[in-house]
Amino acid sequence: MIVCHCFAISDARIRALIGECATGRDVMFKCGAGRDCGSCRAAVEALVAQHRVGVRSSQRATC
């Protein structure tokens, strides 16, 4: 699915960068999403938040 229509950046590309970046802002800087109209910023932040929730859940499950 395309998240950033200005630069044709997909959710797969954003998910691939999440592990390398500390914040949604870092992800946007690295791939270019959010730099033009900005309408995708909330979607990028949501993908980062989903990843963090998943990471926290998997860390708890390893007891």
The architecture in CATH of the region 2-60 reads Orthogonal Bundle (1.10)
Question: What pLDDT sits at residue 58?
Answer: 63
User: 12 vs 53, which has greater pLDDT?
Assistant: 12
Q: What is the mean pLDDT of residues 31-53?
A: 95
Q: Encode pLDDT of 43-61 as tens digits.
A: 999 999 999 887 666 655 5
Considering only residues 41 and 53, tell me which one the structure prediction assigns the higher pLDDT.
Answer: 41
- Per DSSP, the residues of 4-60 read ETTTTEEHHHHHHHHTT-SSHHHHHHHH-TTSSS-TTHHHHHHHHHHHHHHHHHHHH
pLDDT at 63: 47
